[in-house]
Amino acid sequence: MASLIYAIIASLDGYVADARGEFPWAEPDPEAHAFINDRERPIGTYLYGRRMYESMAVWETDPSLAEQSPEMRDFAELWREADKVVYSTTLDQTATRRTRVEPVFDPEAVRRLKENATRDVSVSGPTLAAHAFRAGLVDECHLYIAPAIVGGGLRAFPDDVHLDLTLQAERRFPEGMVFLHYTARPV
Protein backbone atom coordinates (compact mmCIF):
# COMPACT_ATOMS: atom_id res chain seq x y z
CA MET A 1 0.00 0.00 0.00
CA ALA A 2 1.29 3.43 -0.92
CA SER A 3 1.53 6.37 1.44
CA LEU A 4 -0.28 9.64 0.78
CA ILE A 5 2.21 12.42 1.40
CA TYR A 6 1.47 16.11 1.84
CA ALA A 7 4.67 17.90 0.75
CA ILE A 8 4.76 21.69 0.89
CA ILE A 9 7.14 24.62 1.16
CA ALA A 10 5.86 27.11 3.72
CA SER A 11 7.04 30.26 5.44
CA LEU A 12 8.01 30.09 9.10
CA ASP A 13 4.59 31.53 9.98
CA GLY A 14 2.82 28.78 8.05
CA TYR A 15 1.89 30.25 4.67
CA VAL A 16 2.48 28.74 1.23
CA ALA A 17 1.76 32.04 -0.52
CA ASP A 18 1.65 35.61 0.74
CA ALA A 19 -1.42 37.88 0.67
CA ARG A 20 -0.74 38.67 -3.03
CA GLY A 21 -0.63 34.94 -3.87
CA GLU A 22 3.12 35.04 -4.45
CA PHE A 23 5.88 32.87 -3.00
CA PRO A 24 9.32 34.13 -4.16
CA TRP A 25 10.77 33.27 -0.74
CA ALA A 26 10.01 29.56 -1.36
CA GLU A 27 12.67 28.85 -3.99
CA PRO A 28 15.07 26.24 -2.60
CA ASP A 29 18.83 26.58 -2.97
CA PRO A 30 20.59 23.86 -5.05
CA GLU A 31 21.34 21.64 -2.05
CA ALA A 32 17.75 21.81 -0.80
CA HIS A 33 16.43 21.30 -4.34
CA ALA A 34 18.52 18.11 -4.75
CA PHE A 35 17.20 16.89 -1.39
CA ILE A 36 13.61 17.63 -2.42
CA ASN A 37 14.17 15.72 -5.65
CA ASP A 38 15.33 12.69 -3.66
CA ARG A 39 12.21 12.90 -1.49
CA GLU A 40 10.03 13.11 -4.63
CA ARG A 41 11.57 10.07 -6.37
CA PRO A 42 9.17 7.56 -4.74
CA ILE A 43 6.12 9.52 -5.95
CA GLY A 44 4.16 7.80 -8.70
CA THR A 45 1.08 10.05 -8.70
CA TYR A 46 0.53 13.71 -7.86
CA LEU A 47 -2.91 14.96 -6.79
CA TYR A 48 -3.49 18.65 -7.56
CA GLY A 49 -6.16 21.28 -7.47
CA ARG A 50 -6.38 23.44 -10.58
CA ARG A 51 -4.23 26.33 -9.32
CA MET A 52 -1.44 24.10 -8.04
CA TYR A 53 -1.50 22.09 -11.26
CA GLU A 54 -1.24 25.26 -13.35
CA SER A 55 1.78 26.41 -11.33
CA MET A 56 3.46 22.98 -11.62
CA ALA A 57 2.68 22.31 -15.31
CA VAL A 58 5.60 24.56 -16.30
CA TRP A 59 7.91 21.67 -15.41
CA GLU A 60 6.70 20.11 -18.65
CA THR A 61 5.53 23.08 -20.73
CA ASP A 62 8.57 25.36 -20.21
CA PRO A 63 11.77 23.53 -21.27
CA SER A 64 13.91 26.50 -20.21
CA LEU A 65 13.33 25.61 -16.54
CA ALA A 66 15.17 22.32 -16.92
CA GLU A 67 18.11 24.15 -18.47
CA GLN A 68 18.67 26.35 -15.40
CA SER A 69 20.41 23.76 -13.21
CA PRO A 70 21.00 20.03 -12.85
CA GLU A 71 18.58 20.00 -9.90
CA MET A 72 15.84 21.65 -11.95
CA ARG A 73 16.43 19.25 -14.84
CA ASP A 74 16.18 16.29 -12.46
CA PHE A 75 12.93 17.58 -10.95
CA ALA A 76 11.42 18.24 -14.39
CA GLU A 77 12.17 14.64 -15.39
CA LEU A 78 10.68 13.27 -12.16
CA TRP A 79 7.57 15.38 -12.59
CA ARG A 80 7.01 14.44 -16.23
CA GLU A 81 7.36 10.71 -15.45
CA ALA A 82 4.69 10.75 -12.73
CA ASP A 83 0.94 10.50 -13.21
CA LYS A 84 -1.09 13.57 -12.33
CA VAL A 85 -4.73 13.87 -11.23
CA VAL A 86 -6.18 17.39 -11.33
CA TYR A 87 -9.39 18.08 -9.40
CA SER A 88 -11.29 20.86 -11.11
CA THR A 89 -14.78 21.80 -12.22
CA THR A 90 -13.45 24.46 -14.60
CA LEU A 91 -10.57 22.69 -16.34
CA ASP A 92 -11.57 20.55 -19.32
CA GLN A 93 -8.16 19.55 -20.64
CA THR A 94 -4.54 19.69 -19.57
CA ALA A 95 -1.32 20.75 -21.24
CA THR A 96 0.72 17.86 -19.83
CA ARG A 97 1.05 14.15 -20.45
CA ARG A 98 0.04 11.48 -17.95
CA THR A 99 -2.61 13.84 -16.58
CA ARG A 100 -6.32 13.37 -16.07
CA VAL A 101 -9.01 15.69 -14.73
CA GLU A 102 -11.56 14.67 -12.10
CA PRO A 103 -14.44 17.01 -11.22
CA VAL A 104 -14.39 16.34 -7.46
CA PHE A 105 -12.09 14.89 -4.83
CA ASP A 106 -13.50 11.46 -3.99
CA PRO A 107 -11.96 10.14 -0.75
CA GLU A 108 -12.91 6.54 -1.56
CA ALA A 109 -11.26 6.74 -4.99
CA VAL A 110 -8.09 8.12 -3.37
CA ARG A 111 -8.21 5.38 -0.74
CA ARG A 112 -8.39 2.78 -3.54
CA LEU A 113 -5.54 4.53 -5.37
CA LYS A 114 -3.38 4.24 -2.23
CA GLU A 115 -4.29 0.57 -1.80
CA ASN A 116 -3.43 -0.32 -5.41
CA ALA A 117 -0.45 1.96 -6.06
CA THR A 118 3.05 0.55 -6.17
CA ARG A 119 4.57 4.01 -5.63
CA ASP A 120 3.62 6.75 -3.17
CA VAL A 121 1.00 9.40 -3.86
CA SER A 122 1.48 13.12 -3.16
CA VAL A 123 -1.27 15.63 -2.51
CA SER A 124 -0.16 19.18 -3.23
CA GLY A 125 -1.72 22.50 -2.44
CA PRO A 126 -3.36 23.26 0.89
CA THR A 127 -6.89 23.62 -0.48
CA LEU A 128 -6.95 20.12 -1.97
CA ALA A 129 -4.91 18.68 0.90
CA ALA A 130 -7.59 19.90 3.32
CA HIS A 131 -10.01 17.38 1.76
CA ALA A 132 -7.46 14.58 2.18
CA PHE A 133 -6.75 15.60 5.79
CA ARG A 134 -10.47 15.72 6.64
CA ALA A 135 -10.92 12.24 5.14
CA GLY A 136 -8.03 10.87 7.23
CA LEU A 137 -6.04 9.91 4.14
CA VAL A 138 -2.72 11.69 4.75
CA ASP A 139 -0.01 9.39 6.08
CA GLU A 140 2.99 11.74 6.05
CA CYS A 141 3.77 15.45 5.99
CA HIS A 142 6.99 16.64 4.34
CA LEU A 143 7.36 20.27 5.38
CA TYR A 144 10.02 22.54 3.97
CA ILE A 145 10.09 25.63 6.16
CA ALA A 146 11.54 28.68 4.43
CA PRO A 147 13.32 31.36 6.47
CA ALA A 148 10.66 34.01 5.89
CA ILE A 149 7.67 35.46 7.71
CA VAL A 150 5.04 36.73 5.27
CA GLY A 151 2.32 37.86 7.69
CA GLY A 152 -0.68 36.37 5.91
CA GLY A 153 -1.90 34.65 2.80
CA LEU A 154 -2.73 31.03 2.01
CA ARG A 155 -2.18 28.82 5.05
CA ALA A 156 -0.37 25.47 4.71
CA PHE A 157 -2.89 23.69 6.97
CA PRO A 158 -6.64 24.12 7.36
CA ASP A 159 -7.93 25.46 10.67
CA ASP A 160 -10.35 22.59 11.33
CA VAL A 161 -7.96 19.64 11.07
CA HIS A 162 -6.37 18.02 14.12
CA LEU A 163 -3.47 15.60 13.72
CA ASP A 164 -1.04 13.77 15.92
CA LEU A 165 2.36 14.13 14.26
CA THR A 166 5.43 12.03 14.97
CA LEU A 167 8.75 13.45 13.84
CA GLN A 168 10.61 10.96 11.63
CA ALA A 169 13.42 13.12 10.23
CA GLU A 170 14.71 16.65 10.05
CA ARG A 171 17.38 18.47 8.10
CA ARG A 172 18.76 22.01 8.06
CA PHE A 173 20.12 23.62 4.92
CA PRO A 174 22.83 26.33 4.73
CA GLU A 175 20.45 28.95 3.29
CA GLY A 176 18.11 28.54 6.28
CA MET A 177 15.44 26.17 4.98
CA VAL A 178 14.48 23.35 7.36
CA PHE A 179 12.92 20.01 6.35
CA LEU A 180 10.59 18.23 8.76
CA HIS A 181 9.20 14.75 8.02
CA TYR A 182 6.24 13.67 10.13
CA THR A 183 3.95 10.68 10.11
CA ALA A 184 0.37 11.86 10.57
CA ARG A 185 -2.57 10.37 12.40
CA PRO A 186 -5.98 12.03 12.61
CA VAL A 187 -7.15 12.80 16.15
The whole-number pLDDT of residue 63 equals 92
166 touches 182 (CB < 8 A): yes
**Residues 99-119: pLDDT tens digits?**
999 999 999 999 999 999 999
pLDDT band at 49 (very low <50, low <70, confident <90, very high): very high
The whole-number pLDDT of residue 30 equals 96
99-102 β-sheet, strand order:
99-102, 83-87, 43-49, 120-124, 4-11, 140-146, 178-186, 163-172
DSSP label at residue 24? G
Q: Count of CB atoms within 10 A of residue 151's CB?
A: 10
Structural domains in the chain, CATH included, are 4-186 (3.40.430.10)
Q: What is the pTM for the complete model shown?
A: 0.96
